[in-house]
Structure 1
């Protein structure tokens, strides 16, 4: 998973080039190592911000490949019977399913904590 680039300095100083043969060279990023489920420290919270008042259950703190994140998201969405998304190291489940998600993740062997209000 690539970290988000939040400022101009994160982009390496180049924003735009008019040279058609220019190729932007990214730094050699070390791929994030996937941790076993027992070492993953996940947080489950309810989020309503910037979602038009709709509540989503947000699972953060996942470390691993994008494929593993998609697989985890698909499993949670299927078990809860709702939609959602898995991207940027987070899994969003539509609706308030905090208790159910915590139980499901604990059965999979993750270390899980409820956070937020």
Structure 2
């Protein structure tokens, strides 16, 4: 192709027929809850042979969740991430996570 010529790719679909390349995103709204209104649960998984502790689901804003995660990682001396409303922590540390989250005012489904 030489410079200045346009490549025309018409495949038979017209943009005026309501067809588009963009995916329609479902409208999911996140209701933000205060810490005492949460009912959190634990899940344990193995990833690459290592134990991972999952706690959630959280209904927090992204900023609040990141701040909470950062303070928990510092107090627990472990790594972690926040993905899709769940906090992931490296290791099998559910009792320690529970104590720290209860100190911050969060509640769990099955309180012991």
TM-score (norm 1): 0.68
In structure 2, stretches of 5+ residues that fail to align are 1-10
1:107 aligns with 2:103: yes
Which one of the candidate residues 22, 26, 29 is aligned to 2:27? 29
Largest Rg, 1 or 2: 2
**Partners of 1:25 and 1:91 in 2: CA distance:** 28
Which one of the candidate residues 62, 68, 74 is aligned to 1:66? 62
Report how many aligned residue pairs link the two structures: 94
Name whichever of 26-35 and 61-70 sits farther off: 26-35
SS class of match (1:64): coil
CA RMSD of aligned residues (A): 2.4
TM-score (norm 2): 0.70
**Partners of 1:86 and 1:108 in 2: CA distance:** 17
In structure 1, stretches of 5+ residues that fail to align are 1-17
Which 4+ runs in 1 deviate beyond 6 A?
none
1:38 aligns with 2:36: yes
